[in-house]
Each structure stands twice: as C-alpha cells, then as structure tokens.
C-alpha cells in the first residue's frame, strides 16, 4: 500500500514538473508576426531588423507575414482570430488599430477587446513628397498650386482608411483645397508611382521616402511632425505652415490576440524592449527617420484608447467615412 501511494505521489510530482516545464517552454516554435501592408513598405522596413533581433533573443525564428489590405484590416482580423498562445502577434500601425474601426462600416475586431497590448516599438510622422516636375517646394506653394487646379492633384496613400489617406483629407479641408486619393498596396509602390509621374504627391512615412528624397528622385514638401526632424532638418512642418492641428504621429506596436497568458506577454515585452534598445536596431530605425520607443503593456493600452478617441473625433469633424 505504501509503495502504491509512493508511486502515485511520484507520478503526480512528475506530472506537475512536466506541466510547469511545458508552460515555461515559450516560444515552443517559430513566432508569426503579421504585418498589415506589402513588402518593402514602411512597416516591413521597420519590422525586419526587429524580427531578426527577436530571433536571436528568443531562440526561435520570427517569421514576417505580410497581409496587405485596405487599412490593414485583414492582418488585424487574422491576429484577433488566432490562438492566444503567443505564437502569433501583429506589428500594428495607427491605420489598423485606430483609424480603420472608425472609418470602415464594419471590421471584424474590436481594438480594445480583441487584442492584448504588448509594447510600442516606434513612432514617426508622415512626410509629403512630390514628383520633381511639380512646381512646388513647400506647403505654401503646394496650397496655391492646388487652389489653381481644384481636383487635379492626385496623392498616393496605402489604402483608404489609413493615416496617409486621412492626413491628405484633413489637409484638404484645413487648406480649402481638393485633392484625389489614389490607393496603393504599400508605401514603396506609392513612392514609385510618384517617381514615375503616375501621381503628383505621396503621403508616406520617412523610412519609405527618405532614400528617394536623398537621391533626388522625389522632393520633400513637408512633414506632419510637431517639430522638424534631426534626420531631415531642411523639411518644414505643416505646423510651421499654419496648420497646428495637423501635427500627426504614427504609432507602431506589437499586440497579440486577447487572452494571451500574462507571462508570455511579459516575456515578449521584455525581449522587444531589449531588441529596440540594441545598438543595431536602434541605429537602423533612427537612420530611417523613425523614433524607436517602447512601453509597458499598460502604457500601450492607454495609448490605444487615447488615439482611438482622437481619430474618432477627426472622422466626425471632417465627415470622412467609408462610402
């Protein structure tokens, strides 16, 4: 009898240890990091060095999965529907988290309820670039030119219901001009269209546009930063041009599906912060005009609620909505 009880106790102990080890063995396989836009664009450029560093820190590959769609909605939906075990995460953008739920008639996710905030990774303003044949060099000249040709200027976006699209519409309303948005799969495709003369302007992010600005293939007109960037100090801001309400910052953050175990959220948060702080990632992002920044899950959760309220108000003020 005693021997039987001892065997049972030993079996129970081994089972408990096995269970504990299974819980600690994270990640157990490669992590899928879903991106909302096409390869070669803003989020893709930003994510690649982060994913490579996380592979090193976590000991498992972090596989980048580009799922481009209008507003980044598809990537968000796939993440929200994934098993919340920490092996699927979303490199989310302002467009997918904050704007799309307010712009589109229906999205199959609730940003607050369906995601587990993990950490911010970066923030950056938008930059407006122009085909070099367009006879404008600053915001004042752009507005004057647009007023002389109402509805004739086309500006590129990475899809309706994105920060690029909404910023163009907000500027149009603030300046009393009319421009037509043209959607592309990603920032790289939109900048290429501006270079080719398919569109006159592209509203995009610095890490997508700056190499082409520096090579002289497009001209930088303005940035939506609250102040000039030290990376491209010669480019003025919309605030300087008299549009204080158009200081717009885009945020990029890693979130997972709701219900992720807190221990796994914390592990990812720790390693993401280590990755962003590493010299190779930090310098890479900074050189692209992107500001590396991290957060606690709670800080990111508060930012999500704040930015959702801000973009919801912008929709109501401008009347911009999916038709």
**pLDDT in 10s for each residue of the chain, 323 residues:** 445 444 444 445 444 434 444 455 899 999 999 999 888 888 898 999 999 999 999 999 999 999 988 778 999 999 999 999 999 999 999 989 998 888 888 899 999 999 999 999 999 999 999 999 999 999 999 999 999 998 899 999 988 878 889 899 999 999 999 999 999 988 889 999 999 999 999 999 898 899 999 999 999 999 999 999 988 999 999 999 999 999 999 999 999 999 999 999 999 999 999 999 999 999 999 988 889 999 999 999 999 999 999 888 888 877 777 76
Class of domain 30-123+249-318: alpha beta
Rounded to whole angstroms, the maximal C-alpha distance in the chain is 97
pLDDT score at 137: 95
CA 6/CA 54 separation, integer angstroms: 44
Structure tokens at 297: 């899950």
Residue (of 11, 102, 148) closest to 320 by Cα position: 102
Contact yes or no for 310/162 (Cβ under 8 A): no
Rg (C-alpha) for the chain, rounded Å, is 22
**Measured torsion, CA atoms of residues 87, 288, 213, 153, in degrees rounded to the nearest 10:** 50
- pTM for the model stands at 0.83
Structure tokens at 264: 């796994």
CA 282/CA 292 separation, integer angstroms: 6
Q: Which residues contact 55 (CB under 8 A, 6 or more apart)?
A: 61, 62
The CATH number for 127-246, chosen from 3.20.130.10, 3.30.70.1560, 2.102.10.10, 3.40.190.10, is 3.40.190.10
3-state helix, strand, coil in the chain (%, to 5): 45, 20, 35
What stretch(es) of the chain map to CATH 3.40.190.150?
Answer: 30-123+249-318
What stretch(es) of the chain map to CATH 3.40.190.10?
Answer: 127-246
């Amino acid at each position: 009898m005693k021997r039987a009880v001892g065997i049972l106790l030993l079996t129970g102990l081994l089972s408990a240890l096995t269970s504990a080890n299974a819980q600690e063995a994270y990640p157990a396989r490669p992590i899928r990091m879903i991106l909302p836009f096409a390869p070669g664009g803003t989020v893709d450029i930003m994510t690649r060095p982060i994913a490579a560093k996380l592979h090193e820190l976590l000991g498992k590959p972090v596989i980048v999965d580009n799922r481009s769609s209008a507003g980044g909605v598809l990537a968000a939906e796939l993440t929200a529907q994934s098993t919340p075990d920490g092996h699927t995460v979303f490199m989310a953008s302002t467009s997918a988290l904050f704007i799309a739920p307010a712009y589109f008639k229906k999205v199959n996710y609730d940003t607050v309820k369906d995601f587990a905030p993990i950490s911010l990774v970066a923030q950056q303003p938008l930059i407006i670039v122009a085909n070099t044949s367009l006879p404008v060099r600053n915001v004042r000249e752009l507005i004057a030119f647009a007023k002389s040709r109402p509805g004739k200027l086309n500006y590129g976006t990475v899809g309706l219901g994105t920060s690029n699209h909404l910023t163009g519409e907000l500027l149009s309303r603030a300046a009393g001009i009319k421009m037509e948005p043209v959607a592309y799969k990603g920032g790289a495709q939109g900048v290429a269209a501006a270079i080719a003369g398919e569109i006159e302007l592209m509203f995009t992010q610095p890490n997508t546009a700056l190499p082409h600005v520096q090579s002289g293939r497009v001209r930088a007109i303005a940035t939506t930063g609250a102040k000039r960037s030290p990376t491209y100090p010669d480019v003025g801001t919309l605030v300087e041009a008299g549009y204080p309400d158009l200081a717009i910052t885009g945020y990029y953050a890693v979130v997972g599906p709701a219900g992720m175990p807190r221990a796994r959220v914390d592990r990812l948060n720790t390693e993401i912060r280590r990755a962003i702080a590493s010299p190779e990632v930090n310098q890479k992002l900074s050189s692209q005009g992107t500001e590396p920044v991290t957060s606690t899950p709670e800080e990111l959760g508060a930012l999500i609620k704040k930015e959702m309220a801000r973009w919801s108000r912008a929709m109501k003020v401008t009347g911009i909505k999916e038709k």
